Amino acid sequence: MSPEPIPKELKLLVREDLKKVWYHLRFETFRTNLRVNWASLDTERSCLWNNIGRVLPRDLEYMCNKPVPFYWLQSAQALDNTGKLCETPKIIFATIYEEWYRCYNNDPSIEFGHFFANPIRVTGSGPSTVRGVLEAHRSICAQASALMMQGNGRADNIIEIAPSDVQHYKLKPTYRAIAIILDNFDSLRSLRVEPEEDGFISLRKMARTQTVLLARTGMEQGLSAPVSFQSLQAQTLPLERPDITAEEIDVVRVSLETAVCFIVDFETREDKVNVNEKITPVDPSLAPS
């Protein structure tokens, strides 16, 4: 039993403990939502079934508040138990999450679906080239904008979530401007990442070994400055894509670690320019108020 009246110091300690519990509850809900979206079930994520794509209301929830899309080509997918190329190894998500969390010094914003990217699985009937993916991405962004206009410019009028007084969901200019493409699940296939002595794979090594493509889409309206990969020059790797040349499309191949750091810096720069003076709202869906 605590003495009456309760000392101010004890009240402060209890308050701090409750804050920590509340924070961890919210983060666990956030992680659960991410795992569902990045799972190997197409019912829980966006798919690119053809060369133009189709945006449904649920896709808006995945796309909004993400700095970039993450296109997962067939060439980077694994066979399921029926022999169909559709499995997206979860270790990629784990690696991205680890790097993203680290880039924000273990304190990223988790409000209203904010994360590094949303996965878009390219199916067997979808595009197989970088140019095809970029054309589909432009179509997807146009469809998303049109769908949001049906809700008077508010995504939360379209997404099936609790209504709010402020638009919390938006399609970021960065999302239109850059696409990340995973075209080869090469880290484990080539056995360049071996399990550690404890039997587990190092996600840091995975991030430095696995490669992705960063591509400019040509849609840079709303950015404070044009996208530039100049700062990545020393970290770029051979494109190894017969379907493109650097002269045709501004695209670079980098490690997953480099890509995550670049996108986090890019998003942070743009957010500072477009800073909202209002207090950032708290997503009520993540935990009890």
pLDDT per residue as tens digits for the range 175-212: 999 999 999 986 545 546 677 778 788 899 999 999 99
Contact 71, 241 (CB under 8 A): no
For 187-200, give one letter per residue: b (16+ CB within 10 A) or e.
Answer: bbeeeebeeeeeee
Residue 66 CB contacts under 8 Å (≥ 6 apart), including other chains: 113, 114, 115, 116, 117, 118, 172, 175
The pTM (predicted TM-score) of the whole model is: 0.88
- pLDDT value, residue 194: 74
- By the 10 Å C-beta count (0-12 exposed, 13-18 middle, 19+ buried), 242 is classed as exposed
- pLDDT value, residue 201: 82
Mean pLDDT of the chain: 87
Alpha helices (H) along the chain: 8-37, 57-63, 90-103, 130-149, 173-177, 186-189, 203-209, 256-273
- pLDDT value, residue 214: 98
Ranges in the chain, pLDDT < 50:
161-166, 188, 191, 277
